[in-house]
Structure 1
Amino acid sequence: MDWILTRLAAARREGKAFGITSVCSAHSLVLRAAIRRAVHDGGPVLIEATCNQVNHLGGYTGMTPEDFIRFAERIAAEEGLDRSQMIFGGDHLGPNPWRKEKPEAALEKAEAMVEAYVRAGFSKIHLDASMGCAGEPAALDDRTIAERAARLAQISERAAKASGVPLPLYILGTEVPVPGGADHALEELRPTAADAARSTIAIHREIFSRAGLEDAFSRVIAFVVQPGVEFGSENVIGYRPELATELTALLDEEPQFVFEAHSTDYQTRDALTRLVQDGFPILKVGPGLTFALREAAYALDMIASEMVAGYGDRPLAAAMEALMLAAPGDWQAHYHGDETALRLQRRYSYSDRIRYYWNRPEADKAFERLLGALRGKTIPETLLHQYLPQLSAAEVGDPETILIAAVDRVLADYQSACGTAT
């Protein structure tokens, strides 16, 4: 199914633009929702793992790249999706998880991670060396970033040839949004300047050629730029097409490429549609999906508190709050304010840092208790209307069905925006 990715640029030039949703999550119910939608629509599913979630050392999920693919394949088999309909991507593959280490040490770990991704069967590889490591500026210059990306591409190419998997498709770029969204309130965001994007492409082309990576560069399908969309803890910056016209016009000069849009979470259906039409057909979404899942789970937590004797007062929310307070490392640097503000952000932030905690044993136990409390029970219509008013009659069922439906409502906007591959 990789042909869909290689068709994106040509389809835009032909006036037949289509897109593809990049599902960036390791949560089983999010993946199940995405896979179930692919079965329903008869199309492919692009599933991406990030460097922090999944890497050769386990990441915060505890999964290696090979583990992750097997995990997603098991869900696909249960849902009846053929493996040939699945595309796996590696997101932000570079030194980001080890940026507090010296550059060489961080890059050596990044090399091992990239090799593990390619050998496992990830065919869409986003090489992201944009962040500084210990002793370096937070933002590196284009040339340094491109040199490090070429170094990682060398490893990727060798790994593919050694393991007999297809040679990867690549995503490059230097103006890469922070994984998982901004860590502060946002007021305005300007798209990448066209001249800056033009220079980034030229520098990568030069450095890849000098490294003997012309063939790899021919498989670069997109560059990551800032289209002017982002979300912070408490607000979202929507897409403004009129601000990105010079940037998108650059694609007419560079017919090999499209742009990949990161942080499209919480954009409207109309904004997503316009992003695809304007040249940003790879729409990455992650926290927006787990936010929808958490929102529905907390609604069910309140429903169970109301109707199930002995369940208690919102024990799922209480368990997650206790977890986040006991291990604040995954949210503390991202949330700001007084104690009330911090508590609200821990529970309800658009950044959804709570997603880092769902795989912990205490969270799993509380989640399973919620599902067990509601399985086999009929939730009164009036109670559903109180806590899940957006739920349609077709989405009412067991708690897993309700949770998947909440995620699918988000995915439906992306599918509508992406249209049909041509």
Structure 2
Amino acid sequence: MFLLILKRFLRSKIAIIGLSVVFMAGVLSLFIGKQHLDKQKKSLLLTEHFQKEHIKRIVQFHQAEIGLLVYYIRFSLVNQPHPLNGLSIGQRDVNSSIQSVTIRNLEGQKYDTDLFNPSNLLAGNLDFSFVLIYLFPLLIIGFSYNLLSEEKEAGTWQLLASQCTNPLKILIGNLSVRALVIFITLLVLLLLAVVILSLPFDKYLLAMFVISCSYLFFWFTISFLVISFQRGSSTNAAILISTWMILTVIFPAAINNYITSRYPVPEALATVVSQREGYHEKWDMDKKSTMEKFYTHYPQFRKYGVPDKAFSWLWYYAMQQLGDDDAKQQTNEMRDKLWKRERASEFIASFLPTLHAQYQLNVIARSGLSNHLRFQDSTTTFHEKMRLHFYPHIFEDALVRDQNWDAFGVASYQEEVRIDWIAVLFPFITGALIFILWAGINCRREYV
């Protein structure tokens, strides 16, 4: 019976057209993902080349004072993209993956980013996660909304039911055939992704596959539930499309609006302004007061005392540091609110499988907000490391030629993601079980 149902389904032109459209969209999304990864890799290679040339040129023209030389030099930290980022671009097309900073004040540099075309950002990217979360459910709806109602409306259901001891098996068989075809389509797309994006066969690719299958299975259980109410085809289609709109468009938009209003982040501008004011006002302050605050922050440098010159690099970089210190409160407030947004998104998404799928895909692909926040923390650590390296050389007027400038290459950050399989699968399994049990009750009551 299963083979007969499969042959009948594959003879349908509508089924072939639907599969072809989604498959082509999936292949297109893979090439868009490859283009995104190639752009990221090109940017990283250019950054490495630029840093070498930049340091070489600056050192060539500023041999007299190391304090003046490091005033200009930018040191780069890159957020290495994972190959799976090609499947789920997330926020990587908005948040910069490269931070090039001097050892001067950090807060004025941390929020620098690339320029983007606002029209492109509005349209978004057709990546694989979009195809999975938005297009595959529509394909499932188109394949399953009339499985039972069409037979009843054509008057053939009674004939089919009389030839089977358990009519429910016919319905499950029809759903299983459609599930098999769609899961094979998904598997083919992921195998193509392995080739096109050079994906390694590791636990992260497995997680991506399991999340994708679980998400599609969740949508099949929704269809099964709607079919079990035994309404007409037009009613089933209206219910399923409305459910798709609620789960993929309306709820996510409402949740995003709630989170942004619940945790507003007005401190981004305030942080930069506070840092600049904190630095510039130090020009008119007593040097001793400035240096005392600096030595409170870095007690290991107290031995250098208070400079008696009208200008010294010790005093200058102390002012730069205090500019960051004055902006620290706003910096911490902004960072805390962004983490609250992230945790609220994760919590709410655990009750909404559509959001949960997108969130988990972004986490595994290292393309979500949490990855960017950790990268910013890594930038802070990197900046502090460079400061602590150069401060003693600057304060002691070390010779420029004594430094091995070739050793300052591009540093990299790569997040290690721990997969919590229970947290990843629980929303899908819970939702699917609820809908299956509900549909089972309906089928027993009506005895399909």
- Report which of the two has the higher share of helix: 2
Structure (1 or 2) with the larger CA radius of gyration: 2
Structure with the greater relative contact order (CA < 8 A, sep ≥ 6): 1 or 2? 2
Task: Tell me the TM-score normalised to structure 2 length.
Answer: 0.24
